[in-house]
């Protein structure tokens, strides 16, 4: 009876965790794949050659420095350069399965399935829901992205800042504004670093089409 009770408890925790995350197992759903591939092609593969390499990360550094007016030799330039190197080093370790210095679409998706698997197992063993678990490199990337969007550096992203930065990545102004209204809950929610991280976790981890984090990249749907 004790064994059965323990088994039932663990199963209940597992089901609860799956319900919170909106996913039933470590395998990515088609919805998750579309989200992750959109992220890959829009914000990572900046030279649009179908694979992610260190040069894409340097293009990201160049873009943010040009947008912000940070010149080589300045403290801001030095910090963003160090951050980009840290992100790539960790991302390369997690994603480059065949050690050829590049991450393909398949490797990108496999990386996320592997992380989901590890995260689900860890959450079950530690008796928690695991909703905040993300890779180490992504923690740094979220910091970078928040700073990129927070143009004035006041610790909060407003709609004008968001629309401007999204336009640099090809997002139409109308879509950006509608997306901001969605994830800010019609301007009722302050988009600070804590809430932005929460939204990012939903974008990368959740299989729930209603999760507000789905909109943080200015994409209103992932059906096409």
**Measured distance CA(8)–CA(6) in Å, rounded:** 5
- Give the pLDDT of residue 2: 40
pLDDT value at 66 more than 60: yes
Residue 51: phi, psi to the nearest 5? -145, 155
Give the integer Cα–Cα distance in Å for 211 and 224: 18
pLDDT at site 51: 95
Average pLDDT, the chain: 84
Q: How distant, in Å, are the alpha carbons of 116, 174, 214 from that of 28?
A: 8, 30, 15
**156: which 2 tokens?**
């909060």
**Cα 71–chain centre separation:** 27
d(CA 139, CA 143): 6
Does an H or E element contain 30, and which?
helix 30-39
Where are the domains positioned within the chain? 2-215
| Cβ(176)–Cβ(166) below 8 Å | yes
Calculate mean pLDDT across residues 172-194: 96
Q: Among 67-76, 94-103, 132-141, 169-178, where is mean pLDDT lowest? A: 132-141
CATH superfamily of 2-215: EF-hand (1.10.238.10)
CB 130 within 8 A of CB 21: yes
The model's pLDDT over 3-56, given as tens digits with 9 standing for 90+, comes to 444 443 344 443 444 444 444 457 899 999 999 999 999 989 999 999 999 999
- Find the mean pLDDT for residues 162-181: 94
Q: What count of residues does the chain have?
A: 224
């Amino acid at each position: 009876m004790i064994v059965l009770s323990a088994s039932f408890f663990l199963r209940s925790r597992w089901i609860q965790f799956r319900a919170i995350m909106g996913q039933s197992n470590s395998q990515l759903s088609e919805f998750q794949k579309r989200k992750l591939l959109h992220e890959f092609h829009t914000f990572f593969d900046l030279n649009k050659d179908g694979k992610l390499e260190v040069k894409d990360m340097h293009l990201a550094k160049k873009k943010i420095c040009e947008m912000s007016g940070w010149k080589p030799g300045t403290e801001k330039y030095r910090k963003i350069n160090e951050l980009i190197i840290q992100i790539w080093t960790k991302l390369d370790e997690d994603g480059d399965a065949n050690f050829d210095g590049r991450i393909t679409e398949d490797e990108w998706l496999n990386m996320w399935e592997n992380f989901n698997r590890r995260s689900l197992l860890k959450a079950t063993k530690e008796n928690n829901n695991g909703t905040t678990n993300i890779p180490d490199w992504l923690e740094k990337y979220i910091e970078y992205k928040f700073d990129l969007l927070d143009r004035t550096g006041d610790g909060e992203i407003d709609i004008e800042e968001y629309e401007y930065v999204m336009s640099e990545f090809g997002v139409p102004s109308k879509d950006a504004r509608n997306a901001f209204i969605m994830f800010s809950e019609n301007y009722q929610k302050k988009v600070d670093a804590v809430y932005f991280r929460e939204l990012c976790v939903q974008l990368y981890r959740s299989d729930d089409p209603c999760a507000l984090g789905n909109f943080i990249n200015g994409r209103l749907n992932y059906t096409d």
